[in-house]
Amino acid sequence: MQSDNLKIGIGYAAICLLWGSTWIAIKIGLESLTPFLSSGVRFIIAAALIFAVAKFKKLSFQTDQKSIRLYFILTLFSFVIPFGLVYWAQQFVPSGLSSILFAVFPFFVIIFSWIAIPKDRIGPYQLTGVVMGFVGIVVIFSENISFDLSDSLIGMIAIVSSAAMQGGVAVVIKKHGGELNPFTMNLIPLFFAGIFLTAGAFVFEDMAHVDFNSEAVLSLVYLASFGTLGTFTIYYWLMKKINVVILSLSAFITPIVAVVLGWIFLSEVLSARDFIGSSMVLIGILFANFRGLRNYFKYRKILK
């Protein structure tokens, strides 16, 4: 039992560290690669790695009509558009702040679940968390809102839009994707997203200054292997071991990791207003999960 708890603790720490570090890895890669090219090559490598692991473990791939429709939705609205937005935005928005803006993802899951799945109700804690999170976003944005739309402001809007889109897709998969294998369901969408984004790079981006130097290659390999394959593997393993509410709190820890890493490696510092707004977003995540946490610990107490 102690051995299992140690493995769970290490796994939980790993996904928080890995997801928190992906933001700085993207930022480093963008110093010598274009946004579409960087994300596209990352996805192609990640798809190849998932395919190799799936073949080794002899996992099946669903190819029925319903699954193909879901693959199409995942390709466009979970990878191509949202990651295209995030990669483009990170040219102008610090990695730590980017991760905090994307942390509104759980709030959109709550809202879209309430709309699309009638039996899901927003309780007082979730409502408080959602309101607090969005007030925090308004505080962050208020520093940059002006009559002139700066790249920084548009970048922040792009990241929040990406989080909203990902939240919508998560609800679609929750409602219709129960039969999809949780490990292999991203293989086909990742592959086609990688092809579309890489092709888009040659059509829409200036490739003259692209440089596959050591930092760019390391960034791509790290994001594909640890930031995609590693996190998916650990995350779905943890889903079988611990309460999903506890697991969802990684959304609270990941931005903190990203902010610290951005400060250490890229000398990024949040302004006072960014810090206040970010704190409200993170506390909002805790509130949104408070009921689930309370029920979880009450259940554990009964078992004891």
Report yes or no: 174 and 220 within 8 Å, Cβ to Cβ: no
Give the largest Cα separation in the chain, rounded.
Answer: 64
Pair of tokens at residue 69: 């429709």
Give the helix/strand (H/E) hosting 6.
Answer: helix 2-29
Rg of the Cα atoms in the chain: 19
Share of the chain above pLDDT 90, in %: 40
What's the whole-number average pLDDT of the chain? 86
Domains held by the chain: number: 1
pLDDT above 90 (res 203): yes
How many other β-carbons are positioned within 10 Å of the β-carbon of residue 145?
12
Give the separation between CA 19 and CA 267, rounded to whole angstroms.
19
Confidence of residue 2 (pLDDT cuts 50, 70, 90): low
Helix, strand, coil shares of the chain as percentages rounded to 5? 80, 0, 20
Report yes or no: 92 and 158 within 8 Å, Cβ to Cβ: no
Give the separation between CA 103 and CA 252, rounded to whole angstroms.
7
Predicted local distance difference test score (pLDDT) of residue 113? 82
Give the separation between CA 187 and CA 51, rounded to whole angstroms.
7
pTM of the model: 0.86
- For the chain, the first-to-last Cα distance in angstroms comes to 15
Phi, psi of 148 (to 5 degrees): -100, 120
Range of the domain at 202: 2-303
Lowest mean pLDDT among 13-17, 42-46, 229-233, 240-244: 240-244
